Homo-oligomer: A and B are copies of this chain.
Amino acid sequence: MQPYIDFVMELDRLKAVTRKVKPTGLDRYENSAEHSWQIALLAAALAPLADAPVDIDRVIRMLLVHDIGEIDTGDTIVFAEGGWEERKAAEQAAVTRIFGHLPDGGGDGFLELWREFEAAETPEARFANAVDRAMPALLNLANEGQSWRENGISYARVVARIGPPIEAGCPALWAYMVPRLVEARDRGWFGA
């Protein structure tokens, strides 16, 4: 039993990894654990609107593990330039170590799920990536662009970075977001 306990106590550290956006109504930054919970449920609700039919249970498990590598590396804003490959290598080392606590070396296929999400090639991974990219923008749309303004992220950069993956995995979600992002730009909710 001890390996399972070691595993779950490692997971506890993801609650300390903070992101750039604040939950609505709270004066603190979101952490990657609560973020993972929220997008797993958003995906479950949105599943009928995925670009291609998906095994939603695999999507959910993928989203629950997708940020675990940050336990060692911390969160990196999706708009960061450079150093991406080194960071992903460090995250892969982290998940290999953390899932390695489990007797079968990877639990319920956790490591494979993490890799599948990163590759973003299967319908499940594309849909999971779409939901993951959309969520902070949805929070910013409810938050007067708090993290965009704080980090000097422009409208053009947001659209270029999150548009393609969201449209690829969940076109209806991107269609919903486009006019709202334009409206946010007109209201001055972006940086620089």
* CB proximity of A46 to chain B, nearest CB, Å: 6
- In the complex, A181 has a CB within 8 A of chain B: no
How many chain A residues sit at the interface, stated as a range, is 35 or more
How many protomers of this protein does the assembly include?
Answer: 2
- In the complex, A11 has a CB within 8 A of chain B: yes
A25 touches B31 (CB 8 A): no
Contact A41/B16 with A8-B135, A31-B34, A138-B5 known, Cβ cut-off 8 Å: no
Contact A24/B9 with A31-B34, A33-B37 known, Cβ cut-off 8 Å: yes
CB interface residues, A 159-192, toward B, < 8 Å: 172-173, 175-176
Contact A107/B45 with A1-B173, A60-B61 known, Cβ cut-off 8 Å: yes
A45 touches B1 (CB 8 A): no
Residue of B nearest to A7 (CB): B45
Scan A89-132; emit 1 where CB is below 8 A from any B CB, else 0. 00000000000001000011010000000000000000000000
Q: List 9 A-B contacts (CB under 8 A).
A: A1-B172, A1-B176, A7-B42, A12-B23, A12-B24, A15-B30, A34-B34, A56-B108, A57-B60
